[in-house]
């Protein structure tokens, strides 16, 4: 198939986002798989700290729909001069990160992009009037009008999702409810089937308390909330097991027996995930009507300008965005009404305008 049109929000321009974008897009073969559309300004990439010896070659375009295969395209997101402070968090950097993200998400919503990869942001320097969200996940869920979503960390066969996202630990116990656990399990199960191509996924569910509550001695939430949620999910056809004490689950390697793991809160899932996979993991937002991924690292201001930032996680995010888009299209075709599915496949074989005989992109929100 043709390369997928993938939007790239530039993230914090003072962090390593511009550098890893440049390094990733210079890799041989990348432009055969994706048609990147970056949301930024040329100055971001002519800065000497952005990715090494030679500047990135790109074509300025007015909108994502005009991006050409085989080229790196750039959509201008702000016109006024910006004072860059490489390696330093600034509100200016936060504001332009918000502008880039806003424009990219709108194009994703309107179907002008096949998928979106977001470079790291620093929420603490993003003005609330420009970015009134706890993080990327919450913004995308609202802007793409999804009822619910799942923060899903992925690295090869290790996949970890969380019930609660960016909230204080003091609020976790109250936020972990049966309904929320079941909702997250449904999203995870559906994503594993449609986005990852796993026909019968097996999901491990972590306990909220140490030792899974130790029969009520260390809290009763696991017996009264988590276990009933797992049973409800099973009754709905989801292959879920648990709750498992988190330390032994990862320490013993039991996680390897499962296609995915649902943790109760952010650090319970992300600490072991990053310990096992840091540098090659991807943050995937499941449950959205479109595909969004991100590298699993932050802005890393301390690495800016030293040519030390690795593009591996960003590359993994690009490739997962492409794979998930393709998997989802296949899943939709395979599970559609047989007559409609057949008609759709025939339509896709029609030649492009001009009689090239090349199949169309198959645009859409995924």
Q: Do 126 and 4 share a structural domain?
A: yes
| CA gap 36, 74 in Å, rounded | 8
Query: What is the DSSP-derived secondary structure letter of residue 68?
Result: P
Domain range for 212 is: 148-282
- Judge contact between 222 and 209, C-beta under 8 A: yes
Q: Do 195 and 179 share a structural domain?
A: yes
CATH of the domain at 167: 3.40.718.10
Name the residue with higher pLDDT: 62 or 2: 62
pLDDT digits (tens, 9 = 90+) for 299-326: 999 999 888 999 999 999 999 999 999 9
Q: Do 129 and 9 share a structural domain?
A: yes
- How far does the chain reach from its first CA to its final CA, in angstroms? 15
DSSP secondary structure string, 333-362? HHHS-HHHHHHHHHHHTSPPTTS--PPP--
- Judge contact between 154 and 324, C-beta under 8 A: no
pLDDT digits (tens, 9 = 90+) for 49-107: 565 566 778 999 999 999 999 999 999 999 888 888 999 999 999 999 999 999 999 99
**What pLDDT is attached to residue 85?**
92
Tokens, residue 276: 């096992």
Total domains present in the chain: 2
Q: Whole-structure pTM over 0.85, yes or no?
A: yes
Number of Cβ within 10 Å of residue 339's Cβ equals: 8
Q: Do 119 and 29 share a structural domain?
A: yes
Q: Do 139 and 7 share a structural domain?
A: yes
Q: Is the pLDDT of residue 147 over 70?
A: yes
pLDDT digits (tens, 9 = 90+) for 262-299: 999 999 999 999 999 977 899 999 999 999 999 999 99
Q: Do 335 and 358 share a structural domain?
A: yes
| Mean pLDDT over each residue of the chain, to the nearest integer | 90
Helix%, strand%, coil% for the chain, nearest 5: 40, 15, 40
| CA gap 318, 25 in Å, rounded | 10
pLDDT digits (tens, 9 = 90+) for 38-48: 999 998 987 64
Buried b (16+ CB within 10 A) or exposed e, 22-32: bbbbbeeebbe
Q: Do 353 and 267 share a structural domain?
A: no
Pairing of strands 150-155, 158-162: antiparallel
Choose one of 258, 282, 306: the last residue of a domain.
282
Choose one of 261, 282, 303: the last residue of a domain.
282
Q: Do 229 and 244 share a structural domain?
A: yes
Number of Cβ within 10 Å of residue 175's Cβ equals: 14
Lateral strand order in the sheet of 291-295: 59-61, 73-76, 34-40, 4-9, 115-118, 291-295, 282-286, 150-155, 158-162, 260-263, 202-206, 239-244
**What pLDDT is attached to residue 211?**
94
Q: Do 40 and 83 share a structural domain?
A: yes
Q: At what angle do helices 312-335 and 338-348 cross, to 10 degrees?
A: 130
Q: Do 322 and 245 share a structural domain?
A: no
Q: Do 226 and 200 share a structural domain?
A: yes
């Amino acid at each position: 198939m043709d390369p997928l049109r993938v939007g790239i929000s530039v993230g914090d321009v003072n962090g390593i986002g511009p550098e890893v974008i440049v390094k990733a897009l210079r890799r041989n073969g990348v432009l055969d798989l994706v048609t990147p559309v970056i949301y930024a300004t040329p100055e971001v990439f002519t800065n000497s700290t952005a990715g090494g010896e030679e500047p990135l070659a790109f074509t300025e375009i007015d909108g994502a729909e005009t991006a050409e295969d085989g080229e790196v395209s750039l959509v201008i997101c702000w016109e006024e001069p910006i004072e860059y402070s490489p390696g330093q968090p600034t509100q200016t950097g936060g504001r332009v990160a918000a502008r880039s993200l806003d424009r990219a998400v709108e194009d994703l919503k309107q179907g002008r992009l096949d998928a979106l990869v977001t470079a790291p942001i620093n929420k603490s320097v993003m003005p609330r009037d420009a970015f009134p969200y706890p993080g990327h996940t919450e913004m995308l869920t609202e802007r793409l009008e999804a009822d619910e979503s799942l923060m899903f960390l992925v690295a090869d066969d290790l996949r970890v999702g969380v019930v609660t996202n960016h909230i204080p630990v003091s609020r976790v116990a109250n936020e972990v409810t049966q309904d929320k656990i079941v909702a997250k399990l449904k999203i995870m199960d559906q994503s594993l089937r449609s986005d990852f191509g796993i026909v019968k996924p097996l999901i491990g569910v972590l306990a909220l308390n140490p030792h899974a509550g130790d029969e009520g001695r260390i809290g009763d939430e696991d017996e009264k909330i988590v276990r009933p949620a797992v049973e409800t999910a099973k009754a709905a056809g989801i292959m879920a097991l648990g709750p498992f004490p988190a330390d032994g689950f990862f320490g013993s390697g039991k996680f390897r027996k499962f296609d995915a793991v649902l943790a109760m809160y952010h650090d319970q899932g992300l600490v072991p995930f990053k310990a096992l996979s840091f540098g090659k993991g991807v943050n995937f937002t499941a449950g959205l009507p479109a595909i969004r991924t991100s590298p699993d690292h932050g802005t890393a201001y301390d690495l800016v300008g030293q040519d030390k930032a690795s593009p591996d996680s960003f590359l993994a995010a690009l490739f997962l965005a492409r794979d998930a888009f393709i998997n989802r299209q296949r899943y939709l075709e395979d599970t559609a009404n047989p007559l409609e599915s057949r008609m759709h496949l025939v339509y896709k074989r029609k030649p492009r305008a001009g009689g090239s005989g090349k199949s169309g992109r198959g645009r859409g929100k995924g």
